[in-house]
Structure 1
Amino acid sequence: MTGGFFAILDDIAALLDDTAVMSKVAAKKVGGVLGDDLAVNAEQASGHASARELPVLWAITKGSFRNKAIILPIAFLLSAFAPWAIVPILMLGAAYLSYEGAEKVLEYLRPGHHGEEQKGAVDEAVKIKSAIRTDFILSIEIIVIALGVVAGEALTTQILVVTLIALLATVGVYGIVALMVRMDDMGFALVGFSQTSTGTKAAVLKRSGLLLVQAMPKLIKALGYIGTVAMLLVGGGIFVHHLEWLHHALAFMPFVLPELVSGLAAGMLLVALVLLWERLTQRN
């Protein structure tokens, strides 16, 4: 009986060891999407009144956990019984991200954009819903990539690795976003500490605090552009990686241009189709 107990412990240790190894591989694979996820969600969570930033971020984080709870079991079932359905689902997600990205590009180009942007920032409920929808698509991409890494492993290993990556993605991304959106508060705190210090220490604290406070609005503005580009890159990347003819057609483009061009072109086409549909329905 003792031997059986230690055999079980050995099996558990081996499983955990396999999980750790495969998790490292999967984390490297999803690293690019996590970077885009961070940029998109930082932009979505910013732009609110200081007192509302963390509550808004927490609402989005809870939505992200719900997204993972919905996607994970469906992903495992599809992987086991209908793997052919995964790519079409990814394509639909890519279309949504490309559409959202293209809409933002058109907003940036439209005259009077800045005033409308401030007005839109007030409606946090709309922004939370939009952020959770975007997180849903990015979560699908992260989970599918992680699932692809462990596709040949035992089901238990697949569940442990993919679930771990999904949870780390949410905790890591939104933890970093929380630090970013409260950067100005950290700056004011440093300035406050400088008033109770003297000499070089006081000067360094004050200078560092003011730097954080001054950098905050610039960072928020930059995140808006970075988040838009990130959505186009993720959406276009799905098209390029799963449509062989598109991959070959854009092979001459360097760096990330194939993904960016694909995402922007698809997004603009979808925006045009939506506008055409709205005009046709209004006439009727």
Structure 2
Amino acid sequence: MVNQVNQVNQSQVLLLTGFRELGRFRYVFFSLTCAGYLLIVVLNVSVLVLICAKPRLHQPMYILLANLLLNTLIGCAAFYPKLLLDLLSSQQQVSRCGCLLQAFWVHLYVSVECNILTVMALDRYAAVSRPLTYHSLLRPSTVLRLLLGAWLLPAAASTCLIGLSSRLPLCGFRVSRTFCDNRSITHLSCVDVSLIGGVELLLAAAVIFLPLLLIFGCYVQVLAVSFRLSSSGRPNKALATCVPHLVTYVSLVCSIVFEVVQPALANKNLPHALRVFPVKHQQLWFPRFILLKL
């Protein structure tokens, strides 16, 4: 028994079992997912090129949007190619190193998304609530520092988290999902993972939940100013520019909430596709190009 456990611990191949009940419907999923992935890439790249090509768009709002689009492309590249390959394969396998790598990029995508949306919320707050001091508050150097923090802090947090998980001995090899994340990896461990769970919770609070609270606070202030301007009869375009941001914010919150409660749904009488296919599909599919009118 000990030898068997040791052999499993040394295994470098994991099985993704989230596809097992899809059957012939996997080809339907493949067609829809492939079309969606291509659409995401074409639209996001087109808007990125447009922002880079037009000097009048080299403003904080559009620079932030460009970073959001770039992050979406990174998230898609970490998620969809492997998914499409698995949908056409008879066996869905991934090396342990590949699983850790995908988990890193997935966590980085979500964290950077939260951080960039936070900076966008601060931008809208300054533009609506502090219009006279907007340009002094969000100077190019300030935007650059905020963006560096939005990328580097999540990268450091994801590296720390995945680095800890990479040292765990694994007794299992079946990942009951269609992709790898840190929670799926730690569930296969032979040892107590409470320390890693605590680190994961702390990092999530710092790079995900705290930014979401800041976003909520900023938009409460923005909406208050917008309604105040509307009630006074003065023209107000702030609400119209913030609605797409709020839609993205709500979409992200729903995705994160589902990911948190998803393990509790695993044993429920729910459709298999709903249980194993993450809401990250919806989050990545969201057309970023409608966020702002270019």
Q: TM-score interval w.r.t. the shorter chain?
A: 0.3 to 0.5
With the length of structure 2 as denominator, give the TM-score of the two structures: 0.31
With the length of structure 1 as denominator, give the TM-score of the two structures: 0.32
Richer in helix (by share): 1
